[in-house]
Amino acid sequence: MKVRQHYCNALLIGLLTFASACSFGQGSLKDFKNSTPEQRAEFQTKMMESKLGLDEAQVKKVSAINLKYAEKFQPIIKSQDDGATKIKQMTILQGQKDKELQAVFNKQQFAEYQQFEQKIRSRMMARMNKQQ
């Protein structure tokens, strides 16, 4: 169960760049792996702008952060490394990204962002449990 939780967390990190609450589950992991960093960053920025009510200045900063980390995630997504290695790398990057986003968001926006992450994590766990 603990391995599955770590695997789920790693997928969450990647899927946060790909899915929004409205479209979660409509895309596939294959689509995610075949998307470019620019596509993932743009999608995530639009989702954050919509869900968090970002202003223009925030959108510019968030867009740059999302692109920066989408590019950093790319070699991990494409790598043939084992799951544990990917989890470790993604967790570190996501923590760094969250700190940068926290500096851009106000307290309410960051709380909403964290709630959104938790919703996706819960949905992923439910999906993984159904697949067993």
Domain that holds residue 90: 2-130
Residues 8 and 14: their CA atoms lie apart, in Å, by 10
pTM for the predicted model, two decimal places: 0.76
- Tally the domains of the chain: 1
Residue pointed to by tokens 């589950």: 25
- The answer to whether the beta carbons of residues 32 and 14 sit under 8 Å apart is yes
Q: What is the pLDDT of residues 43-52, one digit of tens each?
A: 999 999 999 9
pLDDT at 2: 55
Q: What is the pLDDT of residues 65-95, one digit of tens each?
A: 999 999 999 998 888 888 788 888 888 998 9
Cα dihedral sign, 121-124-125-126:
positive
Residues 78 and 81: their CA atoms lie apart, in Å, by 9
- The answer to whether the beta carbons of residues 124 and 8 sit under 8 Å apart is yes
Q: Could you tell me the CA-to-CA distances from 124 to 11, 21, 38, 49, 112 in Å, in that order?
A: 8, 12, 24, 23, 18
- As a whole number, mean pLDDT of residues 14-41 equals 60
Of 16-20, 83-87, 108-112, least confident by mean pLDDT is 16-20
- As a whole number, mean pLDDT of residues 18-41 equals 62
Cα dihedral sign, 89-57-24-123:
positive
DSSP label of 80: -
Environment class of residue 10 by beta-carbon count within 10 Å: exposed (0-12), middle (13-18) or buried (19+)? buried
